[in-house]
Amino acid sequence: MTKRPVKALTKKEVDKCKADLLQQKESILNSARLKKLDLNTSPDDRPDEADLAQSDVNLSMHTRLGNRENLYLKKVYQALERIAEHNYGECVNCSEPIGYARLSVRPTAELCIACKEDEEKKENLSVHGSRHKSVGRGMSTNM
In this structure, is residue 16 part of a structural domain?
A: yes
The enclosing domain of 117 has a CATH number of 1.20.120.910
Q: Nearest Cα to 90, choosing from 6, 12, 4, 3?
A: 6
**DSSP assignment letter at 92:** T
In this structure, is residue 4 part of a structural domain?
A: no
As a whole number of angstroms, the distance between CA 29 and CA 101 comes to 26
- Provide the residue-wise pLDDT of the chain in tens; the chain has 143 residues: 446 678 999 999 999 999 999 999 999 888 877 766 655 555 555 667 766 666 666 666 556 667 888 899 999 999 999 999 999 999 999 999 999 999 999 999 999 999 999 999 988 887 665 555 555 544 444 44
In this structure, is residue 119 part of a structural domain?
A: yes
The domain tally of the chain equals: 1
- Buried b / exposed e along 4-30 (16+ C-beta atoms within 10 A): eebeebeeebbebbbebbeebbeebee
In this structure, is residue 65 part of a structural domain?
A: yes
Residues 6 or more apart whose Cβ sits within 8 Å of residue 13: 89, 100, 103, 104
pLDDT in tens, 38-47: 555 555 556 6
**Which amino acid is present at 64?**
R
- Look up the domain containing 63 and give its range: 11-40+49-130
As a whole number of angstroms, the distance between CA 30 and CA 38 comes to 12
In this structure, is residue 91 part of a structural domain?
A: yes
Q: Nearest Cα to 14, choosing from 73, 96, 97?
A: 97
In this structure, is residue 31 part of a structural domain?
A: yes
Q: What is the pTM of this model?
A: 0.68
